């Protein structure tokens, strides 16, 4: 794509030229030098690349105004997208999406693997669970039939089965295990297992948008993971802001932007945090610096 200056592995379907602009600043002695990098993409998928470093030019001043005016202690402009009737600025932020910390604190404090539950209470939980999960009735009835102790440690009830030691009553690695843990936590505040990864990952999958109720020209989004099993809590997602400078963030333009976050050839089939054309700008920069 870069060598031929043409997009070949992505179906480009915007019928007007589009410009993508990024900024790069570095200090040279006491002076800060700022450059702008522009990638133009045409309706046929062909591309042109430019570096703009003459700070007296009208084009430089135009970009400088946008990137400077929308920079704040929270937001850092990343990518300016311009096409006929539309212009939008994507900014990174210092805000991140995290799981509910109160819920997290509750689960961690409520769970101890050696904590005990009585046979009668466990029986009630199993019976109430099967009332809304009929597909597990046969398994639950088998478990109820085999309850032969007055009390059970939490780790004896639900955990991931291992080769060492006796197996639990319910294997946490199964859908039954995960659903039963959630049922007990939601209905009785009994935490057999925090299940942090399997629950929290739902918050971080896919691309989520958050409306600005006070300003229709702004939209916030964060980008999760396509593969939940690769997720870890340290990978909290940055919230990014789209600010509409010209036109409106209608469905067509919004789809045009977000489709470019879900390509499968930039980050090993995962989402990109900004439209993938920024990666092309970086590739052009490397090519022109050689």
Task: For 42-67, write each residue's pLDDT tens digit.
Answer: 999 999 999 999 999 999 999 999 99
pLDDT of res. 104: 76
The answer to whether 70 and 87 have CB atoms below 8 angstroms apart is no
Q: In angstroms, rounded to a whole number, what is the distance separating the alpha carbons of residues 199 and 182?
A: 9
pTM, to two decimals = 0.69
Q: What percent of the chain has pLDDT over 90?
A: 53
Q: Is 63 exposed, middle or buried (0-12, 13-18, 19+ CB in 10 A)?
A: buried
For range 178-199, the mean pLDDT = 85
**Which residues is 51 bridged to in the sheet?**
37
pLDDT at 290 over 60: no
pLDDT at 28 over 90: no
Q: In angstroms, rounded to a whole number, what is the distance separating the alpha carbons of residues 219 and 243?
A: 7
Average pLDDT, the chain: 87
For range 252-281, the mean pLDDT = 82
The answer to whether 130 and 140 have CB atoms below 8 angstroms apart is yes
pLDDT of res. 220: 92
Domain positions in the chain are 18-98+206-289, 112-193
pLDDT at 108 over 90: no
Q: In angstroms, rounded to a whole number, what is the distance separating the alpha carbons of residues 63 and 54?
A: 12
pLDDT at 29 over 90: no
Among candidates 19, 12, 17, which has minimal Cα distance to 260?
Answer: 12
Confidence of residue 102 (pLDDT cuts 50, 70, 90): confident
């Amino acid at each position: 794509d870069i060598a031929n200056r043409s997009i070949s592995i992505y179906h480009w379907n915007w019928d007007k030229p589009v410009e993508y602009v990024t900024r790069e600043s570095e200090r040279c002695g006491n002076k800060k030098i700022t450059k702008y990098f522009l990638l133009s993409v045409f309706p046929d998928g062909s591309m042109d690349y430019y570096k703009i470093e003459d700070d007296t030019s009208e084009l430089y001043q135009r970009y400088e105004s946008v990137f400077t005016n929308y920079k704040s202690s929270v937001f850092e402009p990343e990518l300016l997208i311009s096409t006929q009737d539309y212009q939008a600025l994507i900014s990174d932020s210092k805000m991140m999406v995290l799981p509910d910390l109160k819920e997290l604190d509750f689960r961690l404090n409520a769970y101890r693997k050696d904590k005990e539950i009585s046979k009668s209470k466990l029986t009630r939980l199993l019976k109430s669970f099967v009332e809304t999960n009929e597909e597990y009735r046969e398994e639950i009835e088998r478990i109820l039939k085999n309850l032969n102790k007055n009390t059970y440690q939490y780790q004896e009830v639900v955990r991931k089965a291992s080769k060492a030691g006796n197996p639990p009553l319910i294997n946490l690695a199964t859908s039954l295990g995960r659903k039963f843990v959630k049922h007990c936590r939601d209905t009785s505040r009994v935490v057999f297992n925090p299940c942090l990864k399997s629950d929290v990952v739902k918050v971080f999958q896919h691309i989520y948008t958050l409306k600005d109720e006070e300003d229709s020209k702004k939209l916030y989004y964060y980008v999760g993971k396509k593969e939940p099993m690769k997720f870890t809590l340290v990978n909290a997602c940055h919230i990014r802001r789209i600010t509409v400078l010209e036109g409106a963030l209608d469905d067509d333009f919004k789809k045009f932007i977000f489709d470019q976050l879900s390509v499968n050839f930039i980050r090993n089939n995962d989402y990109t945090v900004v439209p993938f054309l920024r990666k092309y700008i970086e590739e052009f920069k490397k090519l022109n610096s050689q």
